[in-house]
């Protein structure tokens, strides 16, 4: 079998940030890496779940709503994939920054977290999601299109 693109990335050189994982026609998959891979610190399932709900809600209600395809956690618990269609890289970076600000400051009920809306409604951690987003704000502060490329 052919190796998938994400397995070609040297995870020993990955640092928290935002990277282009792949481009498929008009769809770009971004790797939003939130912790260092294989370093012993991973995203907790509850905080990731809440972060996902808040990220998706904000992004799908943003000025780029029609460009958003998906945002979801990586199985390795080190970040998220963010898929967009026809969105300029600078706009994707701006949206991710805005979303981190939104999540870090969020107060209130977690969107879509009731039993009828969510398949694991008891697995949420708002404080953890806010901490996760807050940790990314300084990382992405000066992020640019040039930094979207994985380091070799």
How far is Cα 135 from Cα 41, in angstroms, rounded to an integer? 13
Q: List, edge to edge, every strand of the sheet that includes 79-85.
A: 17-24, 27-33, 79-85, 68-73
Dihedral through CA 53, CA 56, CA 58, CA 63, nearest 10?
Answer: -170
pLDDT in the model for residue 5: 72
| 93 DSSP 8-state letter | H
Q: Residue 5 has what DSSP assignment?
A: G
Sign of CA dihedral 128, 129, 130, 132: positive
Q: Where are the domains of the chain?
A: 14-139
- In this predicted structure, what is the pLDDT of residue 118? 96
The CATH code that applies to domain 14-139 is 3.30.1360.80
How far apart, in Å, do the first and last CA atoms of the chain sit?
24
Does 3 have pLDDT greater than 90? no
What span, in angstroms and rounded, lies between the C-alpha atoms of 112 and 68? Answer: 18
Across the chain, mean pLDDT equals: 95
Q: What is the pTM of this model?
A: 0.94
The DSSP secondary-structure symbol of 147 reads G
Is pLDDT at 145 greater than 80 in this prediction? Answer: yes
pLDDT grade for 12, boundaries at 50, 70 and 90: confident
Supply the pLDDT for residue 88. 97
C-alpha of 92 from chain center = 11
DSSP string, 12-39: TS--SEEEEEEEETTEEEEEEE-S-TTS
> pLDDT confidence of 4, banded at 50, 70, 90?
confident
Confidence of residue 42 (pLDDT cuts 50, 70, 90): very high
């Amino acid at each position: 079998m052919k190796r998938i693109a994400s397995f070609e990335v040297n995870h020993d050189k990955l640092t928290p940030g935002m990277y282009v994982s792949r481009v498929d026609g008009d769809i770009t998959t971004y790797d939003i890496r939130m912790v260092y891979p294989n370093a012993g610190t991973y995203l907790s399932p509850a905080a990731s779940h809440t972060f996902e709900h808040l990220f998706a809600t904000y992004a799908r209600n943003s000025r780029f709503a029609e460009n958003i395809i998906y945002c979801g956690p990586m199985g390795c618990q080190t970040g998220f994939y963010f898929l967009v269609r026809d969105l300029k890289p600078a706009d994707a970076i701006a949206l991710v920054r805005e979303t981190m600000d939104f999540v870090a400051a969020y107060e209130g009920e977690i969107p879509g977290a009731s039993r009828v809306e969510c398949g694991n409604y008891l697995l949420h951690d708002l404080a953890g999601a806010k901490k996760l987003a807050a940790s990314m704000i300084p990382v992405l502060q000066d992020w640019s299109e040039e930094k979207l490329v994985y380091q070799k």
